[in-house]
A and B are shown apart, each in its own frame.
Chain A
Amino acid sequence: MTEPLFPQPTGTMGRPYRRYEAHEKVNGTATYASDVRLAGTAHAYLLASKIGRGRIEAFDLTAALAVPGVVDILTHETVGGQIRQTPSLYTGGYAADSVRPLGSADVAYWGQPVALVVADSYEAAREAAQKIDVAYAVAEAASSFDSGGAEHSELEQHALRVGDFDGAFAAAPFKIDAHYSTPVQHHNAMELFATQCVWDGDRLTVYEPGQYLNNIKYGLAEQLGIDPERIRVVNAYVGGAFGAKGFLTQRTALVALAARRVGRPVKLVATREQGFFLSAYRAETRHHVQLAADQEGRLLAHRHEGWELTSRADLLAFGGNGMTVRLYACPNIESRVNVARVDRSTPGFMRGPAEVPYAFALETALDELAYAAGLDPVELRRINDTDVEPVGGLPYTSRSLMQCFDAAGAAFGWPDRTAEPGSMRDGDWRVGWGCAAAFYPAYAASSSARVRLHADGRVHVASGGHELGQGMYTMMAQVAAERLGVPMDRVSVSLGDTDLPPAIVAGGSSSTTSVAPAIMAACDAIRRRLGLDEGSQGDVVAAMVASGTGMVEEYAETRAHGEAPDTMRRLHRGQAAPSGGIHLEDRVQFALGAQFVEVRIHARTREIRVPRAVGAFAAGRIINPRTAHGQLVGGMIWGISSALMEHTDIDPRNAGYINANLADYLLPVNADIGTVQAIMVPEVDDLVSPAGVKGVGEIGTVGTAAAISNAVHHAIGKRLRDLPLRIEHILEDI
């Protein structure tokens, strides 16, 4: 492993501390949601529909109820109206979709929960679920864009027009006009979707992995029709999330209701297969990109039309075109987004939700344009670099794109590349080098935190943030340690509990950016109470001793630049939403990066492998380069996976899932990954947030797939525009 390069720290923040919770994780004592042991637990097993659309005509529960140990079976018939509708996240609510759990006999998609069996044992619950006989009236299901029943429309809010695209495109000497596509993909965090619910009188405790526990709390309260203050959601460790655990899914209300009905704690651990339907996913996309450049490679015209896919229940699209057309200088721009509604579950956030597919299209097209214009792909980006986005003329708060290209290119050895496709070989392997830009909007939101300082120097930091593996515990401790000027080992941290001061969703790479300022503000308030200046000068412990106080505690709330006036109310309702990126009136703010990869393709059998990748990223302040490095490298490997492996197969005959398991939905294994180097380019941006942080959770996976498709072209001369890139696409082309 190459050691990460990172900005030299000046205080506690910026140092590569080992993870706060490292011992718990290596000793197996970190308690994930399904590890919580509750006395008298009944076990639940979910039954998911195996039709794409239709109606339940009847249940035959006879055999299932006869299984010894079965205590309850929830269906729409037995639940009736006990679970109320809560709107989806996309319509101002909380839920992953707008389908009410066990709300009716209607089946809207393959995998929709249709029953929940509760039994004394997991084995009995599973057996009974497998013995439920459901009679369906099956209707034709539209599975994707080309299905007969798909409803197509344009989303006007994503349309953009600057200058005269048609005229500029027609007149330009170099142009690219091509179509691209990306597949259905699922997060597949290693942790399954587990939920445990236990009632104590009228108070409910929920153990469930979440990126936004307050979202679960307030949404569930609406569904159950109870006071939110009677619900507590607890989760100290999330076993990976990547977007999938940022919503209220249908399972939570079912488990809560079951626990109330049977008067015992109820535990559900959904199967890996069911994880493909329970939460959101990355839906397939299509793109039409037209680029034109002048003799020097300056962009003259840029048009990007996207096609996205959603469910019948929820109209949504990510519209990544709003970002891609703002990345490079260009006077004539046109862009639009269309959406198709089909009989599938509602898609949603998955690591770089808009950025990954749109970047694949744009950054592959740019490589094509570089070849058309006879330019080095890096130089094409340098020629079109800009400090001002070309749509609204707003400034980037900071922009280090070319510094990233230069740092990564040098580390990769880019100057040694011969441009001619097929010109680099190693024995039976064709070698290709490719690159692409990475970008991710810098988002932030309001958050709160409470910090307590004891006279003996112990510090406790509490904020209802979430530890997904990104290093939240460690970051929170570092911020408090630096701000109060105490050693790291004196700081303890609480997170993952709705009884703690509310924090933002751990999504959109915005968690650190948002929570760090609240911790800093609480620390500063403590310093003021002790008569010290803000910042890190002055001994707080000495001041405590001098003041004779045993303990000082301060609570602070912070809001992010550009947030709506009602943001604090929303924070306390589990509805804080990050703002930033291209959604500000006065500026745009992005983390930027550059990805370089080497691919090797066997001359005879065409396996595509990626032995090395180098990325450089400028994302403002890095609070912990050790955990940030993990995020960036992990993101890059996600990009490799996205480019070459991941693809959820859906049978067009009934919109049914074919490979909803980890043997057939391929994720990379250790042997797929060679050397992966992530370079953190120093960057100071005091505008994005008081902490100066832009976030690194997602940018690592943006642009990787384009770099790989560009490298494949370089290796064999064939341009691939549809992901994933597989053997069958290049069998005839060497």
Chain B
Amino acid sequence: MQPFQYIRPASLAEMVMAEREARSRDAAARTAYIAGGTTLVDLMKLNVEQPDRVVDLNAIAPAFSAITLDGSTLRLGAFAKMAAVADHPAVIGGFPVIAESLSLAASAQLRNMASLGGNVLQRTRCAYYGDPAWTACNKRAPGSGCAARDGVNRQHAVLGVSDHCIASYPGDFAQALMALDATVILVGAEGTRSVPFASLHREPGDTPDAETTLRPGEVITEFVVDGGPWARRSRYLKIRDRQSYEFAVASVAVALDLVGDTVRDVRIALGGVATVPWRAYDAETMLRGRSLDEAAAADAAELAFASAVSHTHNAFKIPLGRSAIVRALLETAAMEVRRD
């Protein structure tokens, strides 16, 4: 871990101003925001992250930690702890996919520490990224290559991969936000903006180091999720080698609006198999208006992985991901949900 300057702004305004001034002094200086710290401190110890400034946002956090239901719209402060959201009755009742994605993630201790905003921005678990001794990593050192493509890549992505990076996105909550078409509120030097959560992460392409569309210094303050029948009939299926405290080998978030057996609307997001939180748009389109049975689910699963590209050890993620989609769709359809 390299030395850094520690700053703890008392307000968002102070944070924005300090960051703008710091950048005007030294445009190349690297700033890292810290909330729960569960990703950043880990990567700093590994010497992967070497920020010059660490800006502790915890004095600001209380202003952006609220969990509120505004009509049918759920507003989640980005500094709310994962555990608080996972255990919130309004979330469990109206947005089960969110509660499940959070309670199946990490451990109880980490969920007590980690903020929602930091969680969606957590970094890949690619081993070659996490150890600077592996010199080839386009995400860590742009232009250096990718050690994972011909290395040990069982955990790596099969969707959204490029020639430059196959690192999988490790999170769970992001898939729930994808499946609920959430909106994210961002604050930075240029003010406040609201963007679809689906546009927050960038596929690696030929710049895998640029993981998000966040502008320099910008911070996530809130997630906004519309409720409705699809949100109540939603769930998160996480497949892994051990029962708990592990990243997904494959995961599926499903939000389903079902009339009888017929799909009025459906959203499917995939984790563990893709470079970014992934929406299976083609599968959704195919399912809309169809009656949801084993055959329809299997067709959707087939479509969802039509563009998959596998490497040495991760080809199994394609059939596994398909099976997970079928299981998630049928289990979501079988949920007992109140319609109003």
A residues bordering B, Cβ < 8 Å? 50, 123, 126-127, 130, 428, 602, 604-607, 609, 644-645, 649-651, 653, 656, 658-659, 663-664, 666, 668-672, 726-728, 731-732
Task: Assess whether B152 is interfacial by the CB under 8 Å rule.
Answer: yes
Q: Are A727 and B133 in contact (CB under 8 A)?
A: no
Task: Assess whether B239 is interfacial by the CB under 8 Å rule.
Answer: yes
Task: Assess whether B6 is interfacial by the CB under 8 Å rule.
Answer: no
Q: Which of B28-36, B137-145, B207-215, B242-250 contacts A (4 or more CB under 8 A)?
A: B242-250
Task: Assess whether B2 is interfacial by the CB under 8 Å rule.
Answer: yes
Q: Are A126 and B151 in contact (CB under 8 A)?
A: no
Task: Assess whether B150 is interfacial by the CB under 8 Å rule.
Answer: yes
Q: Are B239 and A127 in contact (CB under 8 A)?
A: no
Question: Would you give the shortest CB distance from B250 to chain A, in whole angstroms?
Answer: 8
Please classify the interface of chain B as helix (H, G, I), strand (E, B), loop, or mixed, using the class held by over half of its residues.
loop
Q: Are A669 and B320 in contact (CB under 8 A)?
A: no
Q: Are A604 and B323 in contact (CB under 8 A)?
A: yes
Question: Would you give the shortest CB distance from A341 to chain B, in whole angstroms?
Answer: 23
Question: Would you give the shortest CB distance from B86 to chain A, in whole angstroms?
Answer: 16
What separation, in Å, do the CA atoms of A550 and B323 have in the docked complex? Answer: 77
Question: Would you give the shortest CB distance from A247 to chain B, in whole angstroms?
Answer: 26
What separation, in Å, do the CA atoms of A123 and B45 have in the docked complex? Answer: 10
What separation, in Å, do the CA atoms of A650 and B319 have in the docked complex? Answer: 25
Q: A605-B323, A605-B324, A731-B320 are in contact. Are A669 and B125 (CB under 8 A)?
A: no
Task: Assess whether B316 is interfacial by the CB under 8 Å rule.
Answer: yes
What separation, in Å, do the CA atoms of A50 and B147 have in the docked complex? Answer: 14
Task: Assess whether B3 is interfacial by the CB under 8 Å rule.
Answer: yes
Query: Interface residue tally of chain B, by bracket?
Result: 20 to 34
Q: Are A645 and B242 in contact (CB under 8 A)?
A: yes
> Which residues of chain A come closer than 8 Å to B127, judged between CB atoms?
649, 658-659, 664
Q: A127-B1, A664-B127, A669-B245 are in contact. Are A605 and B327 (CB under 8 A)?
A: yes
Q: Are B241 and A644 in contact (CB under 8 A)?
A: yes
Question: Would you give the shortest CB distance from B127 to chain A, in whole angstroms?
Answer: 5
**Which residue of B1, B150, B241, B320 is within 8 Å of A666 (Cβ)?**
B241
Task: Assess whether B88 is interfacial by the CB under 8 Å rule.
Answer: no
Question: Would you give the shortest CB distance from A601 to chain B, in whole angstroms?
Answer: 12
Question: Would you give the shortest CB distance from A687 to chain B, in whole angstroms?
Answer: 43
What separation, in Å, do the CA atoms of A645 and B243 have in the docked complex? Answer: 11
What separation, in Å, do the CA atoms of A649 and B125 have in the docked complex? Answer: 14
Task: Assess whether B157 is interfacial by the CB under 8 Å rule.
Answer: no
**Which residue of B242, B247, B249 is within 8 Å of A672 (Cβ)?**
B242
What separation, in Å, do the CA atoms of A669 and B109 have in the docked complex? Answer: 14
Q: Are B244 and A604 in contact (CB under 8 A)?
A: no
Task: Name, among A605, A669, A671, the residue most crowded by chain B CB atoms within 10 Å (CB to CB).
Answer: A605
Considering the complex, give the chain A residue whose CB is closest to the CB of B319. A731
Q: A130-B47, A605-B324 are in contact. Are A728 and B152 (CB under 8 A)?
A: no
What separation, in Å, do the CA atoms of A651 and B131 have in the docked complex? Answer: 13
What separation, in Å, do the CA atoms of A658 and B242 have in the docked complex? Answer: 19
Query: What per-residue 1/0 map shows which CB atoms of B317-340 lie under 8 Å from chain A?
Result: 001100110110000000000000
> Which residues of chain B come closer than 8 Å to A668, judged between CB atoms?
242
**Which residue of A607, A663, A672 is within 8 Å of B239 (Cβ)?**
A607
Task: Assess whether B240 is interfacial by the CB under 8 Å rule.
Answer: yes
Q: A605-B323, A659-B127, A731-B323 are in contact. Are A653 and B1 (CB under 8 A)?
A: no
Considering the complex, give the chain A residue whose CB is closest to the CB of B130. A661
Beyond A653-B151, A666-B241, A731-B323: 15 further Cβ-contacts under 8 Å? Answer: A127-B2, A130-B2, A428-B327, A602-B327, A604-B327, A605-B239, A607-B241, A644-B241, A645-B241, A649-B127, A658-B127, A663-B125, A669-B243, A726-B241, A732-B319
What separation, in Å, do the CA atoms of A644 and B240 have in the docked complex? Answer: 12
Considering the complex, give the chain B residue whose CB is closest to the CB of A50. B133
What separation, in Å, do the CA atoms of A612 and B132 have in the docked complex? Answer: 42
Question: Would you give the shortest CB distance from A109 to chain B, in whole angstroms?
Answer: 14
Q: Are A731 and B316 in contact (CB under 8 A)?
A: yes
Question: Would you give the shortest CB distance from B104 to chain A, in whole angstroms?
Answer: 11
Considering the complex, give the chain B residue whose CB is closest to the CB of A730. B316
What separation, in Å, do the CA atoms of A123 and B2 have in the docked complex? Answer: 9
Considering the complex, give the chain B residue whose CB is closest to the CB of A124. B3
Question: Would you give the shortest CB distance from A111 to chain B, in whole angstroms?
Answer: 10
Within 8 A of A (CB), among B113-168: 125, 127, 131, 133-134, 150-152, 154-155
Q: Are B323 and A658 in contact (CB under 8 A)?
A: no
Q: Are B243 and A666 in contact (CB under 8 A)?
A: no
Within 8 A of A (CB), among B283-327: 316, 319-320, 323-324, 326-327
**Which residue of A645, A663, A669 is within 8 Å of B247 (Cβ)?**
A663
What separation, in Å, do the CA atoms of A609 and B2 have in the docked complex? Answer: 42
Question: Would you give the shortest CB distance from A503 to chain B, in whole angstroms?
Answer: 37
Considering the complex, give the chain A residue whose CB is closest to the CB of B106. A663
> Which residues of chain B come closer than 8 Å to A649, judged between CB atoms?
127, 152, 154
**24 residue pairs A–B, Cβ–Cβ below 8 Å:** A123-B1, A130-B1, A130-B2, A428-B327, A604-B326, A604-B327, A605-B239, A605-B320, A605-B324, A606-B320, A606-B323, A609-B243, A645-B242, A659-B152, A663-B246, A664-B155, A669-B244, A671-B243, A672-B242, A727-B239, A728-B154, A728-B320, A731-B316, A732-B319
> Which residues of chain B come closer than 8 Å to A127, judged between CB atoms?
1-3
Considering the complex, give the chain A residue whose CB is closest to the CB of B252. A605
What separation, in Å, do the CA atoms of A126 and B244 have in the docked complex? Answer: 31
What separation, in Å, do the CA atoms of A479 and B1 have in the docked complex? Answer: 50
**Which residue of A130, A609, A644, A664 is within 8 Å of B125 (Cβ)?**
A664
> Which residues of chain B come closer than 8 Å to A605, judged between CB atoms?
237, 239, 250, 320, 323-324, 327
> Which residues of chain A come closer than 8 Å to B327, judged between CB atoms?
428, 602, 604-605
> Which residues of chain B come closer than 8 Å to A606, judged between CB atoms?
320, 323
Question: Would you give the shortest CB distance from B249 to chain A, in whole angstroms?
Answer: 7
Q: Are B244 and A672 in contact (CB under 8 A)?
A: yes
**Which residue of A50, A126, A644, A666 is within 8 Å of B246 (Cβ)?**
A666
Q: Are B1 and A126 in contact (CB under 8 A)?
A: yes
> Which residues of chain A come closer than 8 Å to B242, judged between CB atoms?
644-645, 666, 668-669, 671-672
**Which residue of B131, B133, B240 is within 8 Å of A607 (Cβ)?**
B240
> Which residues of chain A come closer than 8 Å to B154, judged between CB atoms?
649, 728
Question: Would you give the shortest CB distance from B132 to chain A, in whole angstroms?
Answer: 8
> Which residues of chain B come closer than 8 Å to A670, judged between CB atoms?
244
Task: Name, among A609, A663, A669, A672, the residue most crowded by chain B CB atoms within 10 Å (CB to CB).
Answer: A663
**Which residue of A607, A651, A732 is within 8 Å of B151 (Cβ)?**
A651
> Which residues of chain B come closer than 8 Å to A50, judged between CB atoms?
131, 133-134
Question: Would you give the shortest CB distance from B302 to chain A, in whole angstroms?
Answer: 15
> Which residues of chain A come closer than 8 Å to B150, judged between CB atoms?
653
> Which residues of chain A come closer than 8 Å to B247, judged between CB atoms?
663
What separation, in Å, do the CA atoms of A635 and B245 have in the docked complex? Answer: 22
What separation, in Å, do the CA atoms of A470 and B19 have in the docked complex? Answer: 55
Q: Are A727 and B241 in contact (CB under 8 A)?
A: yes
Q: Which 5 pairs of residues, A with B, have the shortest CB-CB distance?
A: A50-B133, A728-B316, A671-B244, A671-B243, A604-B327
> Which residues of chain A come closer than 8 Å to B45, judged between CB atoms?
126
Question: Would you give the shortest CB distance from B99 to chain A, in whole angstroms?
Answer: 18
What separation, in Å, do the CA atoms of A205 and B3 have in the docked complex? Answer: 33
What separation, in Å, do the CA atoms of A156 and B134 have in the docked complex? Answer: 40
Considering the complex, give the chain A residue whose CB is closest to the CB of B2. A127
Considering the complex, give the chain A residue whose CB is closest to the CB of B132. A130
Question: Would you give the shortest CB distance from B227 to chain A, in whole angstroms?
Answer: 29
What separation, in Å, do the CA atoms of A664 and B323 have in the docked complex? Answer: 24
> Which residues of chain A come closer than 8 Å to B133, judged between CB atoms?
50, 656
Considering the complex, give the chain A residue whose CB is closest to the CB of B326. A604
> Which residues of chain B come closer than 8 Å to A672, judged between CB atoms?
242-244
What separation, in Å, do the CA atoms of A127 and B250 have in the docked complex? Answer: 36
What separation, in Å, do the CA atoms of A247 and B71 have in the docked complex? Answer: 65
What separation, in Å, do the CA atoms of A651 and B316 have in the docked complex? Answer: 19
What separation, in Å, do the CA atoms of A36 and B70 have in the docked complex? Answer: 55
Question: Would you give the shortest CB distance from B37 to chain A, in whole angstroms?
Answer: 16
Within 8 A of A (CB), among B228-287: 237, 239-247, 249-250
What separation, in Å, do the CA atoms of A123 and B244 have in the docked complex? Answer: 32
> Which residues of chain A come closer than 8 Å to B1, judged between CB atoms?
123, 126-127, 130
Question: Would you give the shortest CB distance from A428 to chain B, in whole angstroms?
Answer: 8
What separation, in Å, do the CA atoms of A664 and B316 have in the docked complex? Answer: 18
Q: A127-B1, A605-B239, A668-B242 are in contact. Are A651 and B326 (CB under 8 A)?
A: no
